[in-house]
A and B are shown apart, each in its own frame.
Chain A
Amino acid sequence: MADVEEVARPTNLRRIAPAGAALIMCVVIVLTMAVHIAVGAKQLPLSTVFEALLHKNDKVFDHIIIWDLRLPRAILAVVVGAAISVAGALMQGVTRNPLADPGILGLMAGASFAVVTALNLFGISSPVWLPVIAAAGALVAAVVVYGIAVWAPGGATPATLTLSGAAVTAFLGAFISLMHIMNEDGFDQLRVWLTGSLAGRDLGLLIYAGPPLFVALIAGLLLGRQVTVLSMGDEVAAGLGVKTGHLKLMLLAVVVVLTASAVTLAGPLGFIGLVIPHAVRLFAGSDYRLIVPFSALAGAAYLTAVDTVARMALQPQEISTGLVTAMIGAPLFVFLVWKKTR
């Protein structure tokens, strides 16, 4: 009996600890959102923020600012941060590649290229179609990047995947610049979007990009257990009865949908999908049943915080959020490569 208790206690702890941590993360998200809403051209006290959120009063000007301008952006940050982080976590698990990230592996470039092409060459700007087009672009880019890496002798190692991702990104980037030059007028708005920005985004897009994003997010959470098995290697996974090919296709679909919705909403935000899963792994270990949901929570809090910094750092101007995420993420990328060479 004593043995059972000794085994049981850590199991209980293992059950309770994640729940507690998740609760803490939710509180953190709410607080970062509140700060995100409170700061800006007009500083609002936190009490006003909570008051406006709980008891909206259309006659108070501050409440209108909060509901019409700041809350949508905060919601966007939470949703997009969660989506990209989960996409990154799943990619790292499936490809067993610590350097995987929707930006590094070219998916974001594919989605951006598709959206820019649709807007510029075909004049498609319907919020219904943009997410679909972005998804198609991300899918093609993912397949091409993976194809290049697999065909490289030595197979799809983290190094070849990263290099082929960089190549595809550079290639599509050249074509994006080309379209920019051919049509300078139509490009002014896209220029900000292409650096990854949450500023002035149309919440109407969330109506169309949101539902697939949430479905993919939930699918990603549900697939966490299988990703853990997959991250032990294809042979082990197959031995444990996982249909690896089938599972990989599903995960590819999830990652593509998450990336495409995020890019449609906020442009290509680099390195979030790299940073967050690594940070989460420090605490959650290697079990993707924990890594995936905590990546979602941490990613939401992270992007909200980063966006606050991007808005506040150089007032009254605003830095694109994507630049801040790159400035934080790129050194981590360098560190991860550096550590591998030691």
Chain B
Amino acid sequence: MSGGLTKAPATHWVLRAFGERIALRLPVRALAVIALLLAGLVVLFLISIVTGSYGVAWGDVLQTLTGATVSTAIDNVVWEFRLPRMLVAAMVGAMMALSGAALQNVTRNGLADPSLVGVSQGAALAVVTLIIAFPEVTPGLRPPAAFVGALLTATLVQVLSSGGRRHGSSISFILLGIGVAAFMSALTTALLTYGDINRASAALAWLAGSINAASWSDVWLLAGALGVLAPALIALSRPVAALQLGEDTAIGLGAAVRLSRYALITLSVALAAMATAVVGPLGFVGLIAPHAARRLARAGVGLTLVMTGLTGAFLVAGADLAGRALFAPIQIPAGIVTAIIGVPVFVYLLWSTAARQNA
């Protein structure tokens, strides 16, 4: 590392302020990637707002967005339907991506994804139970229920996989998750067949991972959750960095390993649960986004997390747009689109991850 300091690489900008009391070493490429992702998101937003069964001209959209009223219909379409939907898609994507990143860092397992290890299924089971068994409860209680369900599942998988000989990094964590997830899905489906048909179809629509019912209350809920949880996740990124070197090394470096591990798992579960509570299980985003971000640019843990969140946002916003535009007027839930993209990525990662573990 000392050699790197004398020949300051041209790939970084060093920002110094307050008489060098604060110095930030900013990787150029990562910043460029972040800028590109943000620009891409804006482009997706614009395309998404003009795309749909009700045709809206570009000029009208821009006027409406600046606050002017072109017509009540356009106002309605833009402000009540398309804008909240885009925002929800982007935020849910970011949350699932961050959740996956945290999970991968804690378990040091490149294949971890909230939808693969039972976290999404636990949340789904809790929410479906709520919809079917307690229909009088308001939808506002879905997020806490999802959180409890997801946390219990995550704890179960974690307890089962810890304490073994091959602690931590082993693929058995994923295998256990797959088993627990299968059990949870069976229970969920059984509830659906047992429950009242109207409630069951409400639950089914939610289960497909569809974003079409997004409203402003969802937007504010997600924005609040993201605003609290994402900074907390990034703040915990230093102990995470140490964890990536292995548990023993991390303890040797003075990281509070147990504490940060539990904190990160809780954060990861909370992010996935909030996202799941609003739009339903959304597969593979938490798997793809962290890997994509790592490949786009090398950066510190914090910036990588920012890139991960943006990648996830871009991914789900794109998936939602594709899902509703490709086969219009039929809407394909974003969850299906992300699964179709995600599985080949999973296979690719399986090939490369297995190599690393056997090496």
Contact = CB atoms under 8 A, between A and B. Distances in A.
A320 B188 CA distance: 12
A108 to B, nearest CB: 13
Given A195-B189, A337-B172, A340-B172, A167 B179 contact: no
A177 B208 CA distance: 8
B312 interface: no
B187 to A, nearest CB: 7
A320 B186 CA distance: 10
Nearest to B186: A326
Interface stretch (A12-20, A42-50, A148-156, A227-235): A148-156
A162 B350 contact: no
A163 to B, nearest CB: 6
B160 A334 contact: yes
Interface residues of A, number: 46
Interface in A194-214: 195
B132 to A, nearest CB: 12
Contacts of B344: 171
B176 A167 contact: no
Given A154-B355, A320-B190, A326-B186, 16 more contacts: A153-B351, A163-B111, A163-B175, A166-B178, A167-B343, A170-B284, A171-B339, A174-B283, A195-B193, A314-B194, A326-B182, A331-B179, A334-B176, A334-B179, A337-B175, A342-B164
B227 to A, nearest CB: 32
Interface in A326-340: 326-327, 329-331, 333-334, 337-338, 340
Nearest to A320: B193
A162 B160 CA distance: 18
B336 interface: yes
A170 B182 contact: no
Contact of A167 (B166, B172, B347): B347
A154 B351 CA distance: 9
B165 interface: yes
A99 B178 CA distance: 12
A162 B178 contact: yes
B347 to A, nearest CB: 5
A160 B350 contact: yes
Given A330-B182, A341-B161, A177 B336 contact: yes
A338 B156 CA distance: 12
B332 interface: yes
Interface string A165-197: 011101101110110011000000000000100
16 contacts: A160-B171, A162-B175, A162-B178, A166-B178, A168-B343, A171-B340, A195-B189, A317-B193, A317-B194, A318-B193, A319-B194, A323-B189, A323-B190, A330-B186, A337-B175, A338-B161
B354 interface: yes
Contacts of B327: 182
A148 B354 CA distance: 12
